[in-house]
Chain A
Amino acid sequence: MKKKIYLSRRQMLTLSCFSGVSAAFASPIQMLVNGLVEGIFAKAQAAKERELPRNFVYLGLYGAPPRWHFDLPLFPYSAPSGKVHPFVGTRFKANSGPQAGAPEYVTVPITRNGVTLNMPYLWSCDLPTSDGKTTPMADLISNMLIVRGINMGFDGHRPNFVRLLQPNPAAPSLNGFVADGAQTPVPAVVYEDMYLPQTPFKSKSGVGRVEVVNTSANPLARALGVFNQSREFQNSEFMNRRDAMEAVVNAALKSLSDYANSNSPGAGALNDYRSKAEALLKSGVGDLAGSYQRLFTKYKTLIQRCGDFAAMPIEGLTNKPIPPDVFPGMDPNACNQFRNNVAARNPDMRTLVHPDTVPNTMAAGFAVVEYLLLGGYSSTVAVKMSEGINAKLENAVVITEGTSLGDMMDGWSFDEHPTGSLVSMVLNAFVFRSLAACLNELIAKLKDAKMFSETVIQVGSEFSRSPNDNCNGSNHGWNAGVTSLFSGALKAPMVLGNTNDSAVLEATHLPSAWGAAGNVLVDGAKRNLAVGHASNTVAHLLRVERPMKNDSSLVTETSKGVEPNIELAKSSE
C-alpha cells in the first residue's frame, strides 16, 4: 500500500513561497534554457514561414458514384476475407456456370514502393497515354493516399459535396486557405459543369475565386481573359504616349508606394501586384482558344480510348460478351435497369459505352487544370464533374409494361439510384478508367515540371453508395465517405480508415460490406472517421490551417515522408 503524503499548512506555505519566488526570479540557468527554447522556437517558426501552401486540385464527382470500383478497396491489406454485398462487383464472373457474367468482387495485389495493396479489379488494366502508348494503371498508386470509412453524419448531395472542401461553414474552404497563401495571378479557380455554383470557396484574407463554367466554349478565356482582352491597351496613340512616359510614371509610383508602405505596412505589395498585372496585360497569357482546344482534344482522346474496349480490353470486364440475364430466378431486368423502369437489354452490356458517351466535363476540367497550374496562373483549381453522359441502350424495355423501346441513347449520371449492377459496372469501369488516364497524364506533366511534390490532387464526392438488395440500383452511402489524394509528397501508397463488413444503413440492406465506416482509434476514442479528419488530412498535406479544430489530421508529414497517425485500414465493428 502506498503511503500518502501529507503536508502541514506550514510546510505547504513554505514550499509555495519557495516555488513562487523561484518562478519570479528566474535563475541564470533558467534564462539560458529560456533563451535556447526561444531560439529553437524562433528558428522553427522561421523555417515554417518559408513554406507556402502546396498547389491544390480538387476533382469532385458530383452525384456520388460507387467508389468501390476505383478508390474504395474493401480489404486493402489482405485478400478479400470478409463478407461483400453480392451486388458489389468489380468484374464479371468469368466461369461458365449459371451466374457467368454476374458481378463479382475481385481485387488485384499491387506492390509499389514496398507496399502491397489489394485494389479493385479495374486497377489491373492499362491506361492510354498521350503519346499513343499505354501504361499500367497500377502505377498510379505509387503516390496515393486513400481515406475511407468516413461517416458524413447525414444524407444529402449538396451539403456533403460542399463539406469535403469546406467542412466548417464558419471557416474558409481548403481551396480558400490555399488561395490565401498563393502568389499566382488568379489564385483560385472553380470549374463548374453547369451554371449553378455548387463548389465551395471561402478565403480567410479576402481572395475571390474565378468561376469557370462549362457552357463556355473556351473556359480558359473565362479564367484568364481579363489579361488578354485589353482594349484599353490597344489604343495606340494613348499607349505610345504611355510607353514614352513609362519610366517617369513608374518612378512616381515607386515613390508613392514607399510612402504608402510607411503609413500602412503591406501597402507596398499592392504596387507589386500592379506591376505584375501590367506585365501580364502587356505580354498576354497566350493563345487561350488554341491552347484550350489542344488540351481538351488531348484529354478527350484519352477518354475515348478508355472506352474503346475492343482496342484496349480489360480482362474479366470486357473480354467476353456479358449476357443481360445473369441471376437465374431473378427479375432479368433488375441488374440491367438503366433508369427508373427502363432496362437495357444489350446482348453484350459493353456496348453501353458508345463513342458519344465521352464525358466532356472531365476532358474540359483536366484541360483547364493543366493550363492554369502548369502555366503558374493559379494555385488551386476545383473541378466539379457530374457526368450526364449518354449510353447506348439496345432492345430497351419499359419494365412494368414490357413495352419495347428499341435502340436508344439515354442519359446516365453518377447518382445511380436506378442503375442496375451490371450497367453500373460497365459504365463505372469506363468512367474511372478515364479518370485514371486523365490523372496519369496530369501527374506526368506535373512531374515533368517538377511540380508534383508541391501539388496535392484530391478526388472526392459526397459519399460512396449502398447497394440495393435486388441488384437494381444503389442509394446514398453517406456513412461510406471516401476520398483519395495524389501527390509527390506521398512516397508510398497508404489506405486509412476502417470499414464495417456487417454494415446496415437501412433495415432492408443485407449485412455485408460495401464500404460503410467502421470504428477506428482516433483522437483518443474508438469512433467512425468524420469529414473533419479527411479535410484536416488534406490541409496538413497542403500546409494550411486545419478547418476543423476538433479533429486531427490522419497523417503527419516529416522529412522522411508521410506517416499515418492511426492504424492502417482494416475491417472493424
Chain B
Amino acid sequence: MKSKLKTSLFFLVLWLGLPFGCVRRDVGGAPVLPQSSALNEASSRIEPAKRAENQLRLGGRTYVASMLKYVFGPSADRTVEILIEDHVMAMGGESCQPYRNDCEGNDGLAGWSPFGDSVLPSIPRATTLRAALISRACHGIVAKDEAILFATANVLGGALSTMRQPTEADILAAFNEFSPGRSLNDESAKQLLNVTQRAGEMGMLEAWRFLFLTLCLEPGWQIP
C-alpha cells in the first residue's frame, strides 16, 4: 500500500513537473525541448528589427559591381572599381583573386588573407559604411552624362533618338533594370513619376538622371 502511494506520488510529481520547464509549450502548442542558455543568448541578444535585418541576404561586391556596370555601362567602370570592387571587406562577397589581380586597393589585399574566407563576409549585412560606398558610387556614376545616356538607351530599347520625358512604363522599365521581374506599387510609381517631373523642369536628361539616382540609391535591389 505504501509502495503504491509512493509510485502514485512519483507520477503525480512527474505530471505536475511538465509545465515547469521540463517541456515548454510554444504558442502554437507544439511541445519543444527547452533551448540551451547559449542558444537563447544567441537569438535574444539582438533586437527584433536587427534580427530581421540580419537575415537579409545581400549581394556581395561582385553582384553590386555587376549591377552598376550593367545598368550604367563602361563609364561607370572606374568608379565601381574604386568604390565597390576594391572594398572587399566592407562590401562582402567573394575574396580577391590574386591570379586576376582584381583588387587594386589595399582593402582588396586584406580580403585575400591567410585567414581566407574566415574574415570575409561572403553574404554581407548592411552597414553604414557599405551604404556610404554605394551611395558614393551612385552619385559618382549618375553625375556622368554618358552613364545616364547608356542607362536610358537600355530602357528605351537602344533608341536614344526617341528620348522623351520618362513615362510610367519607362519608370517601371527603369526599375526593372535594377530589379528584374519585380512589380512597382502605385505609391512608389507615383513618387518616382514626381521625381522625373520635378527634375524634368531642369531638362529631359535631368529627369532620367534623377530617376536613375533614386533607383540606384534605393537599396532593395541589393537583395538578389
B87 → chain A closest CB, angstroms: 8
Task: Encode B200-224 as 1/0 by CB contact (under 8 A) with A.
Answer: 0010001000100110011110110
Residues of B within 8 A of A258 (CB): 187
Task: Encode A67-107 as 1/0 by CB contact (under 8 A) with B.
Answer: 00000000000000000000000000000000000000000
Chain A residue at smallest Cβ distance from B79 = A232
How big is chain A's contact interface, by range?
Answer: 35 or more
Task: Encode B173-196 as 1/0 by CB contact (under 8 A) with A.
Answer: 000000000001101101110110
Interface positions of A from 210 to 254, Cβ below 8 Å from B: 210-211, 213, 222, 226-227, 230-233, 235, 238, 241-242, 245, 248-249, 251-254
Q: Check A251–B191 contact: CB distance below 8 A.
A: yes
Q: Check B38–A253 contact: CB distance below 8 A.
A: no
B101 located at the interface, meaning its Cβ lies under 8 Å from any Cβ of chain A in the complex: no
A281 located at the interface, meaning its Cβ lies under 8 Å from any Cβ of chain B in the complex: yes
A200 → chain B closest CB, angstroms: 7
Residues of B within 8 A of A232 (CB): 136, 139-140, 143
- The tally of residues in B whose CB lies under 8 Å from a CB in A reads 91
Cα of A232 to Cα of B143 in the assembled complex, Å: 8
Residues of A within 8 A of B127 (CB): 185-187, 207-208, 273
Q: Check A208–B202 contact: CB distance below 8 A.
A: no
**Given A241-B206, A253-B217, A255-B191, A206 and B123 contact (CB-CB distance below 8 Å):** yes
A203 located at the interface, meaning its Cβ lies under 8 Å from any Cβ of chain B in the complex: yes
- Residue in contact with B45 in the complex, picked from A22, A48, A230, A270, CB distance below 8 Å: A48
A55 → chain B closest CB, angstroms: 14
- Residue in contact with B119 in the complex, picked from A195, A202, A260, CB distance below 8 Å: A202
Interface positions of A from 496 to 551, Cβ below 8 Å from B: 543-546, 549
Residues of B within 8 A of A49 (CB): 44-48
A470 located at the interface, meaning its Cβ lies under 8 Å from any Cβ of chain B in the complex: no
Chain B residue at smallest Cβ distance from A546 = B38
B179 → chain A closest CB, angstroms: 9
B30 located at the interface, meaning its Cβ lies under 8 Å from any Cβ of chain A in the complex: no
Residues of B within 8 A of A238 (CB): 139, 143
**Given A51-B45, A252-B194, A273-B126, A208 and B139 contact (CB-CB distance below 8 Å):** no
A445 located at the interface, meaning its Cβ lies under 8 Å from any Cβ of chain B in the complex: no
Can you offer 30 A-B residue contacts whose CB atoms are under 8 A? A3-B3, A11-B4, A11-B7, A15-B11, A22-B15, A23-B15, A34-B25, A37-B21, A48-B45, A52-B45, A169-B118, A206-B121, A211-B107, A242-B139, A242-B213, A245-B199, A255-B190, A255-B191, A256-B214, A260-B219, A266-B54, A270-B131, A270-B219, A273-B126, A274-B131, A281-B132, A543-B45, A544-B41, A544-B45, A546-B41
- Chain B residues with CB under 8 Å of chain A are 2-4, 6-8, 11, 14-15, 18-21, 24-25, 27, 36, 38, 40-42, 44-50, 52-56, 58, 87-92, 106-107, 109-110, 113-115, 118-136, 139-140, 143, 184-185, 187-188, 190-192, 194-195, 198-199, 202, 206, 210, 213-214, 217-220, 222-223
